[in-house]
Each structure stands twice: as C-alpha cells, then as structure tokens.
Amino acid sequence: MPIDAVAAVTYRCNSRCIMCNIWQIKDFPEMPAEEYGKLPNSLRDINITGGEPFLRNDLVEIIKVMRRACPNAKFNISTNGFLVDAIKRVLPEIKRIVPDIGISISIDGVGQMHEQVRRVPNAWPKVLETMHFCRDILKIKNIKFAFTLNEMNYSQLKSAYDWSKKLGVQFTMAIVHSSDVYFSKKNELKISGEELERQFSHVINSLLKSLKPKNWVRAYFVDGLYRIARGLRRPLEPFAGEDFFYLDPKGDVYPSVIDNVIMGNINHCRNFQNLWYSHQADQARNAVHGFENNYWMVCTARTGIKRNPLKVANWIFKNKIKLARDTRVVTTNNQ
C-alpha cells in the first residue's frame, strides 16, 4: 500500500502563476470532506494542496477526516499564503487537530520577482505576513518556503534560499514541470550555463555544509533537480502508483502529479484497497513504470530516496569530501 500522497482539495486558485494554468479552470468538481475518510491508513506523508487549499470552506473538516483515516501520517499544507485572513482564522483550528502540521508557502523570488511570477499585487507582503503568523503566533516548527525555478526567476534561487535561512524557515524547491493533470500546462526549461550552475551550487553546497543530516539529503534532492534542468535523467526510479499517488479534487487517483493515467476514483470504490488492487490501477501502474517520464519533485522523489539509502549516502559522502577539498583549495589560495 502507498505511503505518500499529494491531495489537491480544489483547483480554484487566487494566484495567476506563469508556470501553471490551474487558476483558469472553472467549476471543477470537489469531493465532499467525508470521502477523504477512504484514504489508506498506510500513508505516512500527505501533502494537501490545490489550487489554493484555504479557498475550501470545509478545509478543517477535510483534515479532521484525513487525520482519523491516516493517524500515522505527517500532514503538510502547500499554500500561496495570499488568503491571510482565512489562514489566521482556520489554521489555529487545524493546528489543534494536527499539532505538528507543516506549512509550505510559495516564494518564487524575493519581493518584486515573486509578484512578477505570481502576477498578484502585494503578493510579497502577504507571504511575509502569513509566514510571521505561522512562525511567531502559531509557533509552527515545520515551515518551508517553496521555490519553483523557471526561466524568469532562476537567477534568484540563491537569494530566495538565503532569505529563507535568514528568517529561520526551511527551504524546498522544484523546477517547472509539465503536467496536464496538475499544472494544466506544458513547461519547458530552456536555461543552462554558468549562472544556473552558480545558483544551484550555492544551495547544494550550503546544504552539504549544514550540521543536519536531513539537509545533506536535501542537497541530494536539489542535485537531482539540477540534473533534470540540464536535460539529464532523474537519479532514481520513481515507483509512481506503487509508493505514492496523486488525488485530484474530484477523487480521481493518478500514479503521480505528472502521470496522466487514472487508477480509479475514490468516490466509486468501497475502500481504497479495492481501488489500489484493481485491474485499472494495475494498467495505470504498468503504463508509467520506469524512467520514461523524467520528473523529480519532492512528492515523486521522497520514497525513491527512502528505498535507496546507500546510493544517497554514497553521493553525500563523495560530495562532502569534494566540497571539503575545494574549500581547502580556496582557503590555501587566499592565504
């Protein structure tokens, strides 16, 4: 049974991001809260996303139902952070249900750049207000800034990372991907060269230098993104539709946020096991097996990383040594 899920609870969105067309979708059906009770109790990580999840008036109820169905899961909400009032009203209640709730707030650059990518006026102050509320008032420990790298903002990766560090917020990132089911858009990343390398190196090296092993694993993940940005193959096999799945707002289950084949619909099954072991789910799983679709996002990489601890440890070891050697060279040259 799967251990990881992304659940988009709505496709309504109050942002206008350049790398996503979800906000243009009108009247997409939304599953009632009680249907989330069918999620399997095998789940260990659930990312609640959208659209903008805080646009759902019954978000608290959805999370209550999910929590009951998946008592061992860690929960994270991905938000653009623009609905400051709704977040201030609803999030304290959510935190009472899930005390260790995680929040990922999108930032696609610092200040103006974020507003250019999101095409929303005052996007930046709203994001900061949401972050301060989560960090200082609600004392949420697991807050992340989530950066999506595209052709417009790639030269701000380093600044966004440093900004997160300065504010004591964790940093996570993605690069633009194409997806009919999730972003409703085809995206191509046509950038390369020294500037891209410089930006990625800063983040990877800084994570490797950290004293927290979790950050070394993040460095491995970011290096995987850099591979994809250069047109190389993802480092690990995804096991989409085996370890993880994507649930859209109307209850269709897909192997991942990228793979556009339906495994079944949660509304139409008696329980999740029936859906997961159905002929349709098997066909979908077989259709996406292997490295054919070249994507690498946290939700599609996390379980692969867990399955391959030695490979990841080996990469960390080699790169930490390389980094120590390079740093020594720089130090020696500067003396």
Residue 126 CA, chain-centre distance (Å), reads 20
Q: Does 103 bind ligand SF4 (CB under 6 A)?
A: no
- Smallest separation (angstroms) from ligand SF4 to the CB of 52: 6
Candidates 14-22, 97-105, 150-158, 218-226; binding stretch for ligand SF4 (CB under 6 A): 14-22
Size of the site for ligand SF4 (CB under 6 A): 10
Q: Should residue 23 be labelled a site residue for ligand SF4 when binding is judged by CB under 6 A?
A: yes
Q: What residues between 80 and 99 interact with ligand SF4 by CB under 6 A?
A: 80
CA 223, CA 216: separation in Å to the nearest integer? 11
Stretch that binds ligand SF4, among 48-56, 186-194, 220-228, 239-247 (CB under 6 A): 48-56
Question: Which residues, in sequence order, are bridge partners of residue 47?
Answer: 6, 76
Nearest Cα to 22, choosing from 153, 146, 127, 118?
118
Q: Which of residues 63-82 bind ligand SF4 (CB under 6 A)?
A: 80
For residue 51, cis peptide bond before it (omega within 30 degrees of 0): yes
Residue placing its CB nearer to ligand SF4 in the complex, 23 or 245? 23
Residue 73 and residue 45 in contact, taking contact as beta carbons nearer than 8 Å: yes
d(CA 225, CA 233): 10
Using rule CB under 6 A, residue 53 touches ligand SF4:
no
Q: Please tell me whether residue 22 binds ligand SF4 under the rule CB under 6 A.
A: yes
Token pair 């030695």 is found at 310
Does residue 312 touch ligand SF4 according to CB under 6 A? no
- Answer yes or no whether residue 17 interacts with ligand SF4 by CB under 6 A: yes
The yes or no reply on residue 50 touching ligand SF4 (CB under 6 A) is: yes
Phi, psi of 50 (to 5 degrees): -150, -140
Dihedral of the alpha carbons of 140, 121, 14, 165, in degrees to the nearest 10: -30
Q: Is 20 in the site for ligand SF4 (CB under 6 A)?
A: yes
Query: Radius of gyration (Cα) for the chain, nearest Å?
Result: 20
51 part of the interface to ligand SF4, by CB under 6 A: yes
Nearer to ligand SF4 by Cβ, of 80 and 256: the residue is: 80
Q: How many residues make up the chain in this entry?
A: 335
Q: Which residues bind ligand SF4 (CB under 6 A)?
A: 13, 15, 17, 20, 22-23, 50-52, 80
